[in-house]
Amino acid sequence: MRKVKNQKVIQKLAKKSFKANGMRNRIATLAIALTTMLFTIIFTMGLGTAETLQQQTMRQAGGDSHGVLKNLTKKQYEKLRTHPSIKEEAPRILVADRINNPEFLKRHVEAFYYPEYHYPHCFTKIIDGKAPKKADEILMDEVSMELLGLKKEAGQQVTLKMQIRQNEEEIIDRTFTVTGVTKADPALNVGFVTVSKEYLKVHEKELSYQVKETGSSTGSIYMDVNFANSRGIQEKLNKMIKESGYSVKEGAKNYISSNANWAYISDGTEKDPMTFAAAGAGLLLILLTGYLIIYNIFRISVIRDIRYYGLLKTVGTTGRQVRRILRRQAFWMALVGIPAGLLCGFFVGKALVPKIIERSAYQAAEVAVSANPLIFIGAALFSFLTVLISTRKPAKIAAKVSPVEAVRYTEGAELGTTGKRGKKKSQAERQKKSTDGGKIWRMAWSNLSRSKGRTTVTVLSLSLAIVLLNSVFTVTSSFDMDVFLKKFVTTDLQIANARYFGIDQYYGGDSEEVKTENLSESFIEACEAQDGFEEGGRIYSSTRFGLMADSWEAPDYIPHDSKGYYRTYGAEKDYLRKDENGAYSTSTVLYGLEDFPLEQIDVYEGEEDLSVIKEKLKTGKYLIYSTSTDDNGKVEPKEMMHHSGDKVTLALPDGSRREFEILTVIKENYYGLTNRYGIEFCYYTVADVFKEMESEDFLMSYLLNVEDEKETAYGQFVEDYTITKEPLMGYESKQKWLDEFSGLKNLFVLVGGTLSVVIGVIGVLNFINSVLTNIVTRRKEFAMMESIGMTKKQLLQMLILEGIYYAVITIGVVLIFGTLFSATAIRALSDGLWFMRYHFVIWPMLAACPLLLILGVAVPYLAYAPQRKNSLVEEIRRNE
């Protein structure tokens, strides 16, 4: 075949056809824009949230370096830093295990040295002043200075109470000049002090390497490293260590510990198929939504203009050229729709990201959604792919139609099937068996079934949004507030020393140290005297007890090796260590409960009657044992150290031994009834027995309930009290977790509702386009029906009935498919999340039914209104 240069002709034909389809172009462009908007929202939310969370996780991890090598000597550091795989490195040196100023009780402060070139990697931003140079100069964050009662200005002096090593009781008071004030991260309840290099020289002796002797990291070097990229960080660290002559095997003589920065998503997401599955499902949903409308628009357009394409075929236009004409038109619409969708979608997604972050563990984080090119490239590519897929079949139909088929085509006939599927029944033959075919309702139903493909696509696009919206409300209705709260809180309020709720926590391991971490009786008295108080009770706690190893017969399922019994944390083993007396003293904690907190226990095994439990505990011969649970609150059988009836012997603080029987096994109440350390052997007795064996100074916390109508005022009282009267005390309220729960529900509604609305608009556009095109392409048919006596009113009734049929079919599909989807997929999701209990919801689908019926009536009425003004003669002339 001879090749003819006809590019300009094809382009001219495409332009003429494009200009002749103004309504189609507008609807299709809007559809492409909305589809692009959906893709952009997903990409913006995904990348924006990931970027923010990664940044905040880096801050918690201490910096944005790829990895760190821990507890190095100077010699090890000098050897490792020369490895060729390292792109950038810096030493970080801890100069004191603790800063013990009482003002820092509620906000832990750490003291480090790292070189000035490494400040950006540690997110150290000086907002006033400059970096320290002398031994008595430091950087300090703004919040820490406020806690000390100082202005956020450089040049002031501060005195820090430094405990160089935790095993040393000596506290050194050192006065420094603050040469620079650094910005504090609102997402971290941690302050930072940065010393100069000169400080290391002046205090070289006290910063000697003592990791093996004392276990303290003070003076050792943490080497931060960056590689060329963040792929396979841990593997690179291990390779670097081995090639430098050291070992990565724990326990080896030349062992060096290292870990990858867990903030780097690229180092772990490839191992999380659920993340990819969720993202893939979202993209496929949008792809399907966009496909349904764009495909339907072009299919209807092709059917409407089928005679035009047939005429092109008669003058020699090939099928390939017809496809090119349609693709050019689609490209021009995408050229307008995609940029508009990218712009709108980015700003909508940018507005949603802060809402998502608020519901994460980083609600105080600064959210900055950058205009990442990947957002726009990804959304544009997916949108353009949707357009190409959607126009492929309509273009194929137009390309394959023969001139004869095009001239003889009537809506509902199969194109390209002449001579292949046998003789079609004539209209007269189809109506032979009908005795009431002239009724308007039957005519409307017959018209609807003439184009089953268009009807199916329109119904699906309308149904999709309603099913999605119903799913969103089903998910949120399945959120169980009681289950959620039970995991975190069992009473209205919990008060304790501020350390209990902070990083330092309450430990109860020393008779003197406990006086700085226990709850004050004056705080309890103030709470009990406050209007609205109902009931409460004290919880005592001490880790000065130890389970005698020879009194514990370990169950077979507890893992062990030649070194003893252990628990695993990732790849590391944490052994149950015996002290010199043969007791597991570092793995044992005893709690003493007054009546009210004792009533909060959840019995799993053994005696269940609370009154019997109280009486037997008072004898001093019995204990309650607490075992760990999973996220769903179910006991992990292989985590149980004891069963009801077991006999155990405890080593008491005074050195004596005492035998007990395990009366009851209860489920762990981590947030309400423990010191939040997760110790293996966790026992409970009543408060009086506890005080017989241990000092009443070991007062850990106090649980209380408040009258419902006075909770708000009571909460305000406790907040004010811990700020003005006893700032060393703290509290946690049920309201905090209620707010967390409500925020989580609102997030689902916000994000899911936004997607549902956009998809709903696309569905409505599809319906409007179908009705409009249906009316335009059937003008000749309507004129013929008028010529044989059918009135315009009857025609309008027929079109309205068609719209109502669309609505009724959609309602049926929605109710059937929505119910099935809810009972399968949503139920499975609910069963997989610990805070959800499946609850069937149908009201969003029912609420959409009248809206669909209104849409089914209003759209045909408004679309046919202009044509009602034309006379029969005008319509016949127009079609001629």
Note whether 350 and 48 are within 8 A (CB). Answer: yes
Whether 287 has a pLDDT exceeding 70, the answer reads no
Q: Is 645 left (phi over 0), alpha (psi -120 to 50) or beta?
A: left
At 186 the pLDDT is: 66
Q: Assign 2 a pLDDT band (cuts: 50, 70, 90).
A: very low
3-state secondary structure (DSSP) of residue 822: helix
CA distances from 435 to 431, 439, 442 (A): 8, 10, 11
602 CB-near residues (< 8 Å, 6+ apart)? 666, 667, 669
At 776 the pLDDT is: 66
pLDDT digits (tens, 9 = 90+) for 768-815: 777 776 776 676 677 777 777 777 788 888 888 888 888 898 899 989
Distance, in Å, from the CA atom of 86 to the CA atom of 240, rounded to the nearest integer, reads 9
pLDDT digits (tens, 9 = 90+) for 716-770: 999 999 988 888 898 998 887 787 777 777 777 777 777 777 777 777 777 777 7
329 CB-near residues (< 8 Å, 6+ apart)? 14, 17, 18, 21, 25
φ, ψ for residue 657, nearest 5 deg: -120, 150
Note whether 378 and 368 are within 8 A (CB). Answer: no
- The β-bridge partners of 174 are 160
At 423 the pLDDT is: 45
pLDDT digits (tens, 9 = 90+) for 462-484: 888 788 888 888 888 888 877 77
At 401 the pLDDT is: 72
Provide the residue count of the chain: 880
Alpha helices in 498-636 (DSSP H): 498-501, 521-529, 595-598, 610-618
**Which stretches does DSSP call E strand in 46-202?**
67-72, 88-96, 98-99, 108-113, 126-129, 137-141, 157-163, 172-182, 190-195
For residue 473, the number of C-alpha atoms closer than 13 Å in the C-beta half-sphere is 17
Mean pLDDT of the chain: 81
171-175, 518-522, 557-561, 607-611, range with the lowest pLDDT: 557-561
Q: Which two tokens stand for residue 476?
A: 């949120």
At 5 the pLDDT is: 56
Q: Is 748 left (phi over 0), alpha (psi -120 to 50) or beta?
A: alpha
Burial of 273 (0-12, 13-18, 19+ CB in 10 A): exposed
Most confident of 268-272, 452-456, 466-470, 550-554: 550-554
Distance, in Å, from the CA atom of 432 to the CA atom of 438, rounded to the nearest integer, reads 12
Sign of CA dihedral 758, 762, 768, 769: positive
- The β-bridge partners of 193 are 111, 140
Nearest residue to 809 (alpha-carbon basis) of 393, 474, 444:
444
Q: Assign 520 a pLDDT band (cuts: 50, 70, 90).
A: very high
| Cα-based angle 833, 836, 839 (whole degrees, multiple of 5) | 135
Residue owning tokens 């069992």: 490
DSSP per residue, 7-32: HHHHHHHHHHHHHH-HHHHHHHHHHH
Q: How much is the average pLDDT of 566-578?
A: 68
Cα distance from N-terminal residue to C-terminal residue, the chain: 38
pLDDT digits (tens, 9 = 90+) for 860-877: 888 777 666 656 555 555
Burial of 864 (0-12, 13-18, 19+ CB in 10 A): buried
Q: What is the pTM of this model?
A: 0.61
Note whether 366 and 347 are within 8 A (CB). Answer: no
Q: How much is the average pLDDT of 824-837?
A: 78
DSSP letter, residue 778: T
pLDDT digits (tens, 9 = 90+) for 812-823: 998 998 899 888
Q: How much is the average pLDDT of 205-213?
A: 87
Give the distance, in angstroms, between the CA of residue 168 and the centroid of all CA atoms in the same chain.
43
CA distances from 647 to 355, 593, 663, 848 (A): 52, 21, 9, 63
Sign of CA dihedral 109, 113, 116, 121: negative
Query: 3-state SS of the chain: helix, strand, coil percent to 5?
Result: 55, 20, 30
**For residue 587, which amino acid is it?**
S
